[in-house]
A and B are shown apart, each in its own frame.
Chain A
Amino acid sequence: MLLEVRDLHVEFRTRDGVAKAVNGVNYSVDEGETLAVLGESGSGKSVTAQAVMGILDTPPGKITGGEILFRGKDLLKFKEDERRKVRGAEMAMIFQDALSSLNPVLSVGDQLGEMFIVHRGMSRKDARTKAVELMDRVRIPGAAQRVRDYPHQFSGGMRQRIMIAMALALEPALIIADEPTTALDVTVQAQVMDLLAELQRELHMGLILITHDLGVVADVADKIAVMYAGRIVESAPVHDIYKAPAHPYTRGLLDSIPRLDQKGQELYAIKGLPPNLMHIPPGCAFNPRCPMAQDVCRTDEPELYEVDQHRGSACHFWRECLNG
Chain B
Amino acid sequence: MPEQPFEPERAIAGTGMGGAMDLAASEAETLEQQSSAASGGRAPGGPEGTGPSGKPHSLWSDAWRDLRRNPVFIISALVILFLVVISLWPSLIASGNPLKCDLAKAQEGSQPGHPFGYDGQGCDVYTRTVYGTRTSVTVGVLATLGVAIFGSVLGGLAGFFGGVWDSILSRLTDIFFAIPVVLGGLVLLSVVTSNTVWPVIGFMVLLGWPQISRIARGSVITAKQNDYVQAARALGASNSRLLLRHITPNAVAPVIVVATIALGTYISLEATLSYLGVGLKPPTVSWGIDISAASQYIRNAPHMLLWPAGALAITVLAFIMLGDAVRDALDPKLR
Chain A bound to chain B: yes
B38 contacts which of A14, A47, A115, A275 (Cβ < 8 Å)?
A275
Q: Is the CB of A276 within 8 A of B31?
A: yes
Given known A269-B43, A275-B35, contact A47–B20 (CB-CB < 8 A): yes
Q: Is the CB of A14 within 8 A of B28?
A: yes
B residues 6-27 touching A (CB-CB < 8 Å): 6-9, 11-21, 23-27
- With the chains together, A84 CA to B10 CA distance in Å? 9
The chain A residue sitting closest to B1, CB to CB, is A118
* Interface membership of B225, Cβ < 8 A: no
A19 contacts which of B27, B33, B39 (Cβ < 8 Å)?
B27
B20 contacts which of A55, A92, A166, A277 (Cβ < 8 Å)?
A55
Q: Is the CB of B8 within 8 A of A118?
A: yes
- With the chains together, A95 CA to B12 CA distance in Å? 8
Shortest distance between the CB of B176 and any CB in chain A (Å): 30
A residues 81-110 touching B (CB-CB < 8 Å): 84, 87-88, 92-93, 95-97, 100-103, 106
- With the chains together, A55 CA to B23 CA distance in Å? 13
Q: Is the CB of A57 within 8 A of B8?
A: no
Q: Is the CB of B38 within 8 A of A272?
A: yes
Q: Is the CB of A87 within 8 A of B39?
A: no
- With the chains together, A167 CA to B9 CA distance in Å? 9
Q: Is the CB of B27 within 8 A of A42?
A: yes
* Interface membership of A46, Cβ < 8 A: yes
The count of residues in chain B whose C-beta lies closer than 8 Å to any C-beta of chain A is: 37
B31 contacts which of A97, A101, A277 (Cβ < 8 Å)?
A277
* Interface membership of A50, Cβ < 8 A: yes
Q: Is the CB of A114 within 8 A of B13?
A: no
B27 contacts which of A14, A57, A84, A281 (Cβ < 8 Å)?
A14
Shortest distance between the CB of A268 and any CB in chain B (Å): 12
* Interface membership of B182, Cβ < 8 A: no
Shortest distance between the CB of B4 and any CB in chain A (Å): 6
Chain B residues with CB below 8 A from A310, complex form: none
The chain B residue sitting closest to A16, CB to CB, is B28
Q: Is the CB of B9 within 8 A of A84?
A: yes
Q: Is the CB of A101 within 8 A of B14?
A: yes
Q: Is the CB of A101 within 8 A of B7?
A: no
Please encode chain A, from 163 to 188, with 1 for each CB lying within 8 Å of some chain B CB and 0 for all others: 00011010000000010000000000
* Interface membership of A220, Cβ < 8 A: no
Q: Is the CB of A166 within 8 A of B28?
A: no
The chain B residue sitting closest to A94, CB to CB, is B12
Chain A residues with CB below 8 A from B39, complex form: 281, 288
- With the chains together, A32 CA to B184 CA distance in Å? 71
Chain B residues with CB below 8 A from A16, complex form: 28, 32, 53
B12 contacts which of A56, A97, A166, A281 (Cβ < 8 Å)?
A166
A273 contacts which of B6, B27, B34 (Cβ < 8 Å)?
B34
A118 contacts which of B7, B14, B53 (Cβ < 8 Å)?
B7
Please encode chain A, from 1 to 44, with 1 for each CB lying within 8 Å of some chain B CB and 0 for all others: 00000000000101110010100000000000000000001100
- With the chains together, A41 CA to B27 CA distance in Å? 9
- With the chains together, A272 CA to B9 CA distance in Å? 39
Q: Is the CB of B16 within 8 A of A12?
A: no
Q: Is the CB of A273 within 8 A of B37?
A: yes
Q: Is the CB of A50 within 8 A of B12?
A: no
Chain B residues with CB below 8 A from A106, complex form: 6
- With the chains together, A21 CA to B26 CA distance in Å? 12
Q: Is the CB of A14 within 8 A of B9?
A: no
* Interface membership of B45, Cβ < 8 A: yes
Q: Is the CB of A274 within 8 A of B34?
A: yes
Q: Is the CB of A93 within 8 A of B12?
A: yes
A residues 267-324 touching B (CB-CB < 8 Å): 269, 271-279, 281, 288-289
Chain B residues with CB below 8 A from A111, complex form: 6, 8, 11
Q: Is the CB of B6 within 8 A of A57?
A: no
Q: Is the CB of B12 within 8 A of A103?
A: no
Given known A87-B9, A101-B11, A101-B14, contact A273–B20 (CB-CB < 8 A): no
The chain A residue sitting closest to B66, CB to CB, is A15
Shortest distance between the CB of B182 and any CB in chain A (Å): 35
Q: Is the CB of B38 within 8 A of A92?
A: no
Q: Is the CB of B28 within 8 A of A95?
A: no
- With the chains together, A41 CA to B24 CA distance in Å? 12
Q: Is the CB of A101 within 8 A of B28?
A: no
- With the chains together, A103 CA to B28 CA distance in Å? 29
Q: Is the CB of A276 within 8 A of B32?
A: yes
* Interface membership of A259, Cβ < 8 A: no
Chain A residues with CB below 8 A from B18, complex form: 100
- With the chains together, A15 CA to B8 CA distance in Å? 32
Given known A12-B23, A60-B24, contact A53–B34 (CB-CB < 8 A): no
Chain A residues with CB below 8 A from B7, complex form: 118
Q: Can you sample 12 A-B contacts with CB below 8 Å?
A: A16-B28, A46-B19, A50-B19, A60-B21, A87-B9, A93-B12, A100-B14, A111-B6, A272-B38, A273-B38, A273-B45, A275-B31
Beyond A276-B31, A276-B32: 11 further Cβ-contacts under 8 Å?
A: A19-B24, A42-B23, A42-B26, A50-B19, A88-B8, A102-B11, A103-B11, A271-B43, A275-B38, A288-B39, A289-B38
Task: Give A contacts to B, CB under 8 Å.
Answer: 12, 14-16, 19, 21, 41-42, 46-47, 50, 53, 55-57, 60-61, 84, 87-88, 92-93, 95-97, 100-103, 106, 111, 114-115, 118-119, 166-167, 169, 178, 269, 271-279, 281, 288-289
